[in-house]
A and B are shown apart, each in its own frame.
Chain A
Amino acid sequence: MSDAQFIEISPADFFYRNRDIAGFTNPVRSTYMAVRELVENSLDSAEEVGILPDIYVRMRVVRHENEKEIIELSVSDNGRGIPADMIPNAFGQILFGSKYVLKQSRGTFGLGGKMAYLYGQITTNEPLKVVAGDGARGSEFRLMIDISENKPKVFSHKDFKLKRKWRGVNVSFSFEGNYVRAAPKIVDYFSQTAMVAPYANLTFVDPNGQLYRFARSTSRMPKPPKITRPHPHGLDVEMLSRMIAASRRRDLALFLSGEFERVGRKTAKKFMKTFSISNAKLKDLTHKDIVMIVRSLVSYREFLPPDPSSLSPLGEELFKEGIEKELSPEFASVETRKPSAYSGHPFIVEVAIAYGGGIAGGAGVSLYRFANRIPLLYDESADVSWKVVHEEMNWRRYGVSPGTDPVSVLVHICSTKIPYKTVGKEYIADRPEIEREILNGMRNVARDLYLYLSKRRRIGIQKKRVNMFEKYLPIIVEYAAKAANTKDVPDFRVLLRKAKRGLAEEEARVA
């Protein structure tokens, strides 16, 4: 026997020990992650209450400790704010949050932001400062997380009257980072976020005082997602056990028809009859029963697919708006696919293609990935979209040379549960259902591009035609006059106009 000691650790302790799984692996990556997590919280908080987000991010290098660079990050938003009495727990306790319901939101652990604070705390041992306003009054807290107890430790707290009407939250804290090396990803992050949130004002002041501003170009926001119940196909034993424990329903039939998506009384009865499950009281269900019920629920084919109203795709117009704002392409096409589902989780794929124009870099097909309106910047080649773009699409068929043409492909997946391959949430697994949707969508937008390119080619030919006329008609007339030995040279401009008319018609057809 070993003398292994079994100790219970708090969630905060657990995440402290395993912070790398949330992406806080090194100062560079952590700098990027901290910005990302805070900006996403702010965007969510404004969108939830239907406010056009105004987010201000400032970063300063406060000091150098030996080789280390200590950065102070401050993020302000105009979101729904947070009541003063909730602040300590919301910021100082892990796994406390408002995101444990089924709808599409940017984070899903409720620990994204807190992971950043925790990381800051352990690298600088300095408290976090939170200021929240509700329009009239404001509160300021300085606090830390008690890691072993998973409890907030408040250093100071003051309430005050706001001079300026402001609702929202401002968070600032310090951490060990490396801005110079993280900078390209951070800037990419902002510009790609602006692509999928064209209704937001994003302002970023970097440690060098450089201002990046991504201005709002529309006041339209996507329809907010509705909260839904779980779909039976998405269940597992742990989840069902918890739901049973929390439920006050009398028996299994009432529980099934009351707590699940797409299960009414008739469906519940039919399901129970199919699997010969008797209607027991919830508290009488054994673990064995629960395992059996989960298996049956997951395998039952009669449930309608999950309700996509819990999803909030950007929509074709808004996505296009964002693409045009940030990439200013010559041509763009967007397709929002019909809702679909994998394993009981609804999802919607949006695929866009942008060609030429102001796209930086330019040569070859580049891919931008988004999940629940978050840009994914790491591990591109492991992502399902990469597979579709670089392995499954036959670009030549769409008139695109994948190595040289200035094409950008954008894939946005929204789901109540994005099938990330890792906790780091940077790349998406190749679920066949999702892969198929991406491929079909991409084929459609690529076809649009193909049509555009062939029209453009036709115009190009017309233009060349007009150039040829401009070049040769004068020559023909000049030498014909010489050969005919006459000074009487006819006016050929009418013919030039005739040739140009053909071009105008062609251009009108494309427009």
Chain B
Amino acid sequence: MPKKRKNPQRQPKRASKQVVLSSIKQEAKGVLDEVEKREFPRVVMPSRTTDNIVYDDKVGHYVLGGRKVVRSAGNIRHLKPLSQMVWGLSVARDLLDTEKTTTLRDVYYMAEGAEGLSFEDQSESDRIITDIESVLSCSREDFNVYPEERSAIFGDVLAEYTVKGYEGKRINLTMHPDGVMVGPALATAEFIETSADKVIAIEKGAMFSRFVEDQAWKRFHAVLIHTAGQAPRSTRKLIRRLNTELGLPVYMFADADPWGLHICQVIISGSANAAHISNLVTPKAKWAGVYATDITKYDLPSTKLTEMDLRRLKEIKRDVRYQRGRWKQEIDYFFKIGKKAEQEAFSKYGLSFIVDKYLKKRLDELGA
């Protein structure tokens, strides 16, 4: 058993909450001050239109450009969204004050109940939440709005809860054989110590379970994370924290198809949708498979790339982030063989092959 390592970056969670609360107050105060000065109140935030979302090569992820948008009460078309936004700020404050968490769906129902704001559908309230993220430059989890979909984590990490009622309680993330769900409580928990030396993120639930059962976590000293398809933002943030706070390198396994590629890429460099939030990416994370070349190399059972797969493949081929190294090589190979394979395809060689042979070899190759 390797030595436990302490988290050198433990910081009180209170601080982040206070930061968010004070920016909410600042924005709201700004609105009130302008009314006081007999001006139409306005809120300024970075523009999120596609022409203002740029891939920043230096930091390795999408960021917003310099363009700002102004929501002004002096503009008739802004009145409603501005009202909704100010309402959203009051909701965010309320969530933080009462230490309650919620989901986007839930926010929509709260919006429906808010007199006079006439939200048409959930996409409208979702957009307001995204606006608030932009204005406060934080992610919605910072003001307690969490995703519906939950992914899971399993590994030797000692975490300490900060949520109401559980403050100070600790949990080892190997406690539950199905893994521990990544919800608001875990997302805000502090990492105390770990014996692991890497993180392995896995797309599929079946593979995640196999890795747990075969004790891959023990053998490879790994924290396993089930992304459940495209990783939710709280999970991406968790991966980032494991990487930055505990210094664990991150490896990712997904299906050998354009969608699997992109699941890995988003963990590394983020998505355009979340370009306004910078603390979600793990630029140093490594894509560990399944590669297109693995299909040939291991003679994996495969199926033909569909029309839709090919379209997506062409799209990502144009994306700057796929222009070099392993990415480019594998995309070209996909086009060459016109085939895709799932992670489970390795079961052809027996249930443990993927952990014992494939993964071991791959991690060695990547210098883990």
Q: Is B328 an interface residue (CB 8 A)?
A: no
**Cα(A484)–Cα(B86), bound, Å:** 10
A479 to chain B, nearest CB (A): 4
Query: B89, A492: Cβ atoms under 8 Å?
Result: no
Give the distance in Å from the alpha carbon of A477 to the alpha carbon of B33 in the complex: 10
Give me 16 other A-B pairs in contact (C-beta within 8 A), A480-B89, A484-B32, A488-B32 excluded. A468-B79, A472-B79, A472-B80, A472-B116, A473-B73, A475-B115, A476-B31, A477-B31, A479-B90, A480-B35, A482-B28, A483-B24, A490-B32, A491-B35, A492-B35, A495-B40
Residue B366, interface by CB 8 Å = no
In the assembled complex, A151 has its CB within 8 A of some CB on chain B: no
Q: Chain A interface secondary structure, helix, strand, loop or mixed?
A: helix
Find out whether the CB atom of A484 lies under 8 angstroms from the CB atom of B82. Answer: no
The reply on B245 being an interface residue by CB < 8 A is no
Interface size in chain A (residues, C-beta < 8 A): 26
Judging by beta carbons under 8 Å apart, are B86 and A480 in contact?
yes
Contacts A472-B73, A472-B83 known; A480 to B28 CB distance under 8 Å? yes
Q: Which of B27, B76, B83, B89 interacts with A475 by CB under 8 Å?
A: B83
B-facing mask of A459-484, CB < 8 A → 1, else 0? 00000110011011101110111111
20 A-B residue pairs with CB within 8 Å: A471-B79, A471-B116, A472-B79, A472-B83, A472-B116, A473-B73, A476-B73, A476-B86, A479-B28, A479-B86, A480-B86, A483-B27, A483-B93, A484-B24, A484-B25, A484-B29, A485-B25, A490-B32, A490-B36, A495-B35
> Which among A465, A484, A491 is the interface contact of B28 at CB below 8 angstroms?
A484
Q: A142 CA to B80 CA in the complex, in Å?
A: 81
Q: What are the residues of chain B within 8 A of A472 when measuring CB–CB?
A: 73, 79-80, 82-83, 116
B residues 53-99 with Cβ under 8 Å of A?
Answer: 73, 76, 79-80, 82-83, 86-87, 89-90, 92-94
Residue ranges of A at the interface with B (Cβ–Cβ < 8 Å):
464-465, 468-469, 471-473, 475-477, 479-486, 488-492, 494-495, 498
Binary flags per residue of B14-26, CB closer than 8 Å to A gives 1, else 0: 0000000000110
Measured CA separation A304–B82 after assembly (Å): 71
What are the 7 A-B residue pairs with the smallest beta carbon separation, nearest first?
A: A483-B28, A484-B28, A483-B89, A482-B90, A480-B31, A483-B90, A490-B36
Chain B residues with CB under 8 Å of A489's CB are 32
**Cα distance A472–B31 when bound, in Å?**
13
Q: Are B32 and A481 in contact (CB under 8 A)?
A: yes
B residues within 8 A CB of A492?
35
Query: Does B38 lie within 8 Å of A494, measured CB to CB?
Result: yes
Is there contact, CB below 8 Å, between A482 and B79? no
**Cβ-defined contact, A485 with B93, below 8 A:** yes
| Contact A480 B41, beta carbon cutoff 8 Å | yes
Minimum distance in angstroms from B29 CB to a CB of chain A: 5
Question: What residues of A have a CB within 8 angstroms of the CB of B40 in the complex?
Answer: 495, 498
Q: How far is the CB of A484 from chain B (nearest CB, A)?
A: 4
In the bound complex, residues from chain A placing their C-beta under 8 Å from that of B110 are none
Whether the pair A479, B79 counts as a contact (CB closer than 8 A) is no
B117 at the interface (CB under 8 A from A): yes
CB distance from B223 to the nearest CB of A (A): 38
Kindly list chain A residues whose C-beta atoms are within 8 Å of the C-beta of B31.
476-477, 480, 484
CB distance from A423 to the nearest CB of B (A): 61
Would A483 and B116 be within 8 Å (CB), given that A468-B79, A476-B31 are in contact?
A: no
Contacts of B90 in A (CB 8 A): 479-480, 482-483
Given A471-B116, A484-B28, do A479 and B73 touch, yes or no (CB 8 Å)?
A: no
CA of A483 to CA of B25 in the docked complex: distance in angstroms? 6
A490 to B36, CA, bound (A): 5
Q: Which residues does chain B contribute within 8 Å of A490, judged by CB atoms?
A: 32-33, 35-36
Q: In the complex, what distance in Å separates the CA atom of A494 from the CA atom of B115?
A: 23
For A480, list chain B residues within 8 Å (CB): 28-29, 31-32, 35, 41, 86, 89-90
**In whole angstroms, how far apart are the Cα atoms of A12 and B33 in the complex?**
93
Q: In angstroms, how far is the closest chain A Cβ from the Cβ of B115?
A: 8
A491 to B36, CA, bound (A): 7
- Minimum Cβ distance to chain B for residue A497 (Å): 10
Determine which of A464, A479, A498 lies in contact with B87 in the assembled complex, contact meaning CB atoms within 8 Å: A479
